[in-house]
Structure 1
Amino acid sequence: MDKTVADPATAVAGIDDGMTVMIGGFGGAGSPIELIHALIDRYRATGHPTGLTVVNNNAGNGHVGLAALIEAGMVRKLICSFPRSADPVVFTDLYLAGKIELELVPQGTLAERIRAGGAGIPAFYTPTSYGTDLAEGKPVAEFEGRPYVQERWLKADVALVKAEQADPHGNLTYRAAARNFGPLMCMAAANTIVQARQVVAAGAIDPETVVTPGIFVQTVVEVSDPHQEEVLNRADAAYPLEA
């Protein structure tokens, strides 16, 4: 039942070419920087994984975290709701060069598609996007006189998530807005990998405060002093980070 591993490199070792990877975070809030950077390190050492499909709220900022993953050439397709964030130069340049695909999804629809994947609901209807390019080719049905667009669930091979506390069984809490997409992604992925600021003993987390039950988590690694994307970007950092 002990799901803890020694380091981020061990945690991400099973991620393979062509997988769909959900990455938690709303901008820098809740972004699992250390897991992402460990995945980049693995690619630099072995040439794998490549051809990833990444599901995230945005397209990364600067040259760290998700942006660094894209810059390394590991991402074939990005599914997100907000590709034009504060400093998305890496994604923008690659997209304009035709080197990365984009599936644009309205933010609420993105969250619901992920939730549906975790709940076993293959499709649902929403009025969002009706009459726009985003609805092209999708089934439309009318309910109570209003047209709705059919959207499909989103599931993933792997989710990378940042938590505040975890126990060895994988029960999780989150810090404030860092919670965002994390709980949904844990449910929608076949394999959830979590970096937690603190790993505590089994039973040390009040069951009433558990947000993600351990049944949805396969791997936990403690990262006691995690990087924050905005702090790195204010320092003009790029990954690999200078010592």
Structure 2
Amino acid sequence: MSVQVINSKEAAALIPDGAVIALDGFLGTDVPEEILENMRARFRATGHPKDLDVWHASGIGDGKDKGTNNFAEPGMLKRLVGGHWALAPQLQPLVANNDFQAFNFPQGVLSQIFRDAAAHKPVQLNTVGLGTFVDPDVAGGRLNEAAKASTLVNKMQIHGKDYLAYEVPTPNVALLRGTYADENGNVSFEDEPLTLIATSCAMAAHNNGGKVFVQVKRVVKAGSLKPKDIRIPGVVVDYIVETENADMTKQTTDTYYNPDFVEANVVKPKGDIDLPLNPKKVIARRASFFKKPTDKIVNFGIGKYPETVSLVLDEEGQGSGIITTVEPGTFGGVPLGGGDFGSAIAPEATIDEPYMFDFYDGGGIDITFLGLAEADVKGNVNVSQFGPKIAGTGGFVDITQNTPTIVFNGTFTAGGLKEHIEDGKLVIDQEGKFDKFPESVQQITFSGDVAYANGQKVFYVTERAVFKLGKNGLELIEIAPGVDLNKDILDHMAFKPVISDGLKEMDPRIFREPPMMKQAG
């Protein structure tokens, strides 16, 4: 055998101090959790491995103690460059205390950067991130003072056009998870919902003289795996780590495998959709109007408002013919939320994550529906950082900078907001404590200036007002029936938006049952 079969404790003991780690995973999918947990246990016992430089593309964890939370020990990290941070709350106090250098780069950029690392390319050139907090003219993706010790992104021009030049890491350790490994180290992924960046990470570490560790359910005989099921060839694998819990049978943040996520012939009927008429449905209904019949490739972001748009389209008879995509690599099927976000029931196709972002970067999506946390006078949107709380961008920057039509969705205020629909009107029972339209957002995750210059169509849909992105920033184009322009809208904005000469009331059908069955246009 050209590879060694070891257990997760032995794997953790082989990670050197100062390692540059390429880590794969999406929430709990494909995460080598046993290796990570044993690394943390080893550090607590011995102080090693320390000063780690960890790079990962997606959010990895359960929002409690799994995934990248395993690095939340003072001194264990030197730097962490991640695409999403909300799932690792244990890291956030360490970021605030400047215990290590913390960076947040777009998920797509990071998913593609490991391919560049495998090919020994010095930088990755990309327009993704221009005008946002990732831009070196803004914050360079830095999340704390400690990160000022490093510069990982610069700006340059090619043929008169601005690009961001992201520094490419040189990983010497890859930590990955597959389904089975044969005796030659070839790793299959037939039971994994996603393939993510495993191939790229393995090749990046191998080609930089490093070691590749792959956690699997068990080792099988050489030649027993189908060649096309193998996503990591054995020639780049050094250690196969057999899990101590090979009987996992359901894919969640804790476990392994659900056949519905990987088999196309599994059909899960949605049943009758019966959404109550409430402000959430009003937002989703109005947002759905922006989808044209020619918009076939659709992306729905995570969160109750974007996900409700998908349900409304089905309820209103507008969902047929739509192909949904989710950034870690699925086309079609029924996209899932919560701890299974990223996976889909009976997907039509699943591809590697870097290729999905190639598709996105090239304008492959027709329209996207995303969450709205806060927006400012320029039409900038922040979904990534709120005071000391770091959410991270995920694929938000990649998607919003390359999709022709963007529809942001969310309530007008937040924090204790109570509303209901009565007699075809919106009734505000209790106003939210927090206004979501400041003069300037805390962090620019979406740049209104860049979007306007690129000719994108951008809309901001709330239950009481609809805005569009215009030449001079946010422009109010519609208000809900029953709403007072000054008391309910302008008084809760830190700036006065441009008010359209054609300001009108939102379509009254949005506020009534039964289902409309027809878009209002």
Give the TM-score normalised by structure 2: 0.41
Distance 1:163 1:231, change over 3 A: closer
Q: Could you say which residue in structure 2 is the equivalent of 1:77?
A: 79
Q: Could you say which residue in structure 2 is the equivalent of 1:187?
A: 203
Alignment deviations for residues 147-175 of structure 1 (CA, whole Å, 9 cap, x no partner) = 22222322211111011111122111123
Count of aligned pairs: 230
Asked whether 1:213 is paired with 2:194, we answer no
Question: Secondary structure of the residue that 1:63 maps to in structure 2?
Answer: coil
Distance 2:13 2:90 in 1: 25
Could you tell me how far 1:73 is from its partner in structure 2? Answer: 4.7
Q: Could you say which residue in structure 2 is the equivalent of 1:142?
A: 158
Alignment deviations for residues 27-85 of structure 1 (CA, whole Å, 9 cap, x no partner) = 11111111111212222332211111111223643123320222465222111111124
Q: Of the candidates 198, 219, 230, which is equivalent to residue 199 of structure 1?
A: 219
Distance 1:117 1:5, change over 3 A: same
Distance 2:194 2:217 in 1: 12
Q: Could you say which residue in structure 2 is the equivalent of 1:111?
A: 111
Question: Secondary structure of the residue that 1:193 maps to in structure 2?
Answer: strand
Identical residues among aligned pairs (%): 27
Could you tell me how far 1:228 is from its partner in structure 2? Answer: 6.8
Q: Could you say which residue in structure 2 is the equivalent of 1:241?
A: none
Distance 1:229 1:218 in 2: 27
Asked whether 1:58 is paired with 2:73, we answer no
Q: Could you say which residue in structure 1 is the equivalent of 2:186?
A: 171
Distance 1:25 1:59 in 2: 6
Q: Of the candidates 177, 190, 198, which is equivalent to residue 162 of structure 1?
A: 177
Q: Could you say which residue in structure 2 is the equivalent of 1:36?
A: 36
Could you tell me how far 1:109 is from its partner in structure 2? Answer: 0.7
Could you tell me how far 1:212 is from its partner in structure 2? Answer: 1.2
Query: Do the aligned partners of 2:178 and 2:192 also contact (CA within 8 Å) in 1?
Result: no
| AA partner of residue 230 (structure 2) | V
Query: Do the aligned partners of 1:168 and 1:220 also contact (CA within 8 Å) in 2?
Result: no
Give the TM-score normalised by structure 1: 0.85
Could you tell me how far 1:196 is from its partner in structure 2? Answer: 0.6
Tell me: higher relative CO, structure 1 or 2? Use CA pairs within 8 A at least 6 residues apart: 1
C-alpha RMSD of matched pairs (Å): 2.3
Bigger Rg, structure 1 or 2: 2
Q: Could you say which residue in structure 1 is the equivalent of 2:70?
A: 68
Q: Could you say which residue in structure 1 is the equivalent of 2:24?
A: 24
| AA partner of residue 80 (structure 1) | G
Query: Do the aligned partners of 1:59 and 1:91 also contact (CA within 8 Å) in 2?
Result: no
Could you tell me how far 1:198 is from its partner in structure 2? Answer: 2.2
Query: Do the aligned partners of 2:28 and 2:60 also contact (CA within 8 Å) in 1?
Result: no
Distance 1:153 1:41 in 2: 30
Distance 2:253 2:187 in 1: 24
Distance 1:32 1:225, change over 3 A: farther
Q: Could you say which residue in structure 1 is the equivalent of 2:100?
A: 100
Higher mean C-alpha displacement, 112-121 vs 62-71: 62-71
| AA partner of residue 59 (structure 2) | N
Give the 4+ runs in structure 1 shifted more than 3 A.
175-178, 225-229
Could you tell me how far 1:207 is from its partner in structure 2? Answer: 1.7
Q: Which has the higher helix share?
A: 1
Q: Structure 2: state its 5+ residue gaps.
A: 137-152, 256-338, 340-521
Distance 1:219 1:6, change over 3 A: closer
Q: Could you say which residue in structure 1 is the equivalent of 2:282?
A: none
Distance 2:27 2:170 in 1: 21
Distance 1:121 1:49 in 2: 28
Distance 1:208 1:228 in 2: 22
Query: Do the aligned partners of 1:31 and 1:162 also contact (CA within 8 Å) in 2?
Result: yes
Question: Secondary structure of the residue that 2:44 maps to in structure 1?
Answer: helix
| AA partner of residue 30 (structure 2) | G
Query: Do the aligned partners of 2:214 and 2:240 also contact (CA within 8 Å) in 1?
Result: yes
Could you tell me how far 1:229 is from its partner in structure 2? Answer: 6.6
